[in-house]
């Protein structure tokens, strides 16, 4: 059945029916014909025009597929660079805008079966930066044009110059600070007092804090009490029974069955060590100044006394 002529009601009806996107599997890229249903695509595949076109393509199928693939890639990259530039965008959004054109080159005629394979190919060839996330594949175009490369090189050169200027300024400032410190140290080294030392608890690097958790021996205290107490009755003239102990160990204040508090003894020893360190702490800056002032007055009085005696 011949095609309807342009402007006829049949032609307008066919245009209205074919308005918008159709099924990709019912599109013949060799003949550039879109069928509306499976029956129409089957009839088209059995038509004489389609068979002749397939015979021409079958003579060198690899070349035709390569041409279709290169055309699809160039159109896709052209849309990506013009529409989105170098911004990172979802690959499916770019493809949706690409297929809005009804006469676009379909992917089923290329060497790539899915969009994911095509996006990976762009990433491998260095045309775009590709990364996969939970939301899908994202793509960003890499601008390798001479103008963009020259602009990037100029910006890098400017950044290097700016960095070198900043480094030069830092070096000059550092030299001025060192010169000022040297002048101040040469002029006021004899007059200015030494910097005050921090007053407080200090511990040397090699010094170790030793805590003793050993309990005190109750036997030693009992023996000392036993040796000191019998002297009183002897001096008073009382008879001492050698079989009866001179001192009751239970009344002496020491219970041999009761263990001493180890942690209390450790706290007491640490307190004593801290107190000893506090006594050995250096003088503060105010105390040092007062001490120097007193020494200066004493020397002055000694000189005046010596001069008076000589006169």
Q: How far is CA 132 from the centre of its chain?
A: 23
**pLDDT digits 0-9 by tens, 152-205:** 777 777 777 776 677 778 888 988 899 888 888 766 555 555 555 655 556 666
Out of 33-47, 96-110, 275-289, which region has the weakest mean confidence (pLDDT)?
Answer: 275-289
pLDDT of residue 99: 84
pLDDT of residue 119: 92
With pLDDT > 70 as the criterion, what percentage of the chain qualifies?
64
Q: In what order do the strands lie in the sheet with 128-133?
A: 89-90, 136-141, 128-133
pLDDT of residue 267: 63
Buried b (16+ CB within 10 A) or exposed e, 256-271: eeeeeeeeebeeeeee
**Is 90 exceeded by the pLDDT of residue 8?**
no
Single out the residue of 62, 60, 118, 71 nearest to residue 94, CA to CA: 118
């Amino acid at each position: 059945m011949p095609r309807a002529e342009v402007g006829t009601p049949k032609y307008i009806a066919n245009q209205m029916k074919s308005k918008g996107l159709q099924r990709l599997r019912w599109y013949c890229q060799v003949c550039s014909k879109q069928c509306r249903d499976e029956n129409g695509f089957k009839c088209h595949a059995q038509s004489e025009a389609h068979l002749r076109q397939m015979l021409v393509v079958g003579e060198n199928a690899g070349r035709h597929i390569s041409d279709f693939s290169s055309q699809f890639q160039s159109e896709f990259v052209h849309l990506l660079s013009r529409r989105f530039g170098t911004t990172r965008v979802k690959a499916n959004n770019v493809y949706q805008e690409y297929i809005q054109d009804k006469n676009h080159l379909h992917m089923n005629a290329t060497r790539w079966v899915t969009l994911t394979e095509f996006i990976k190919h762009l990433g491998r060839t260095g045309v775009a930066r590709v990364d996969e996330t939970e939301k899908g594949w994202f793509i960003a175009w890499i601008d390798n044009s001479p103008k963009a490369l020259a602009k990037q090189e100029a910006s890098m050169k400017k950044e290097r110059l700016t960095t070198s200027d900043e480094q030069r300024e830092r070096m000059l400032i550092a030299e001025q600070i060192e010169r000022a410190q040297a002048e101040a140290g040469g002029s006021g080294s004899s007059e200015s007092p030494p910097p005050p030392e921090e007053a407080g608890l200090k511990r040397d690097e090699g010094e170790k804090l030793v805590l003793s958790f050993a309990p005190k021996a109750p036997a030693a205290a009992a023996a000392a009490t036993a040796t000191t107490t019998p002297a009183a009755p002897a001096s008073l003239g009382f008879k001492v029974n050698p079989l009866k102990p001179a001192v009751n160990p239970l009344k002496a204040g020491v219970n041999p069955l009761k263990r001493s508090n180890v942690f209390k003894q450790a706290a007491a020893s640490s307190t004593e060590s801290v107190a000893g360190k506090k006594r050995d702490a250096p003088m503060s800056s105010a105390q040092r100044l007062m001490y120097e002032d007193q020494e200066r007055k004493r020397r002055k009085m000694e000189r005046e006394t010596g001069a008076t005696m000589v006169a």
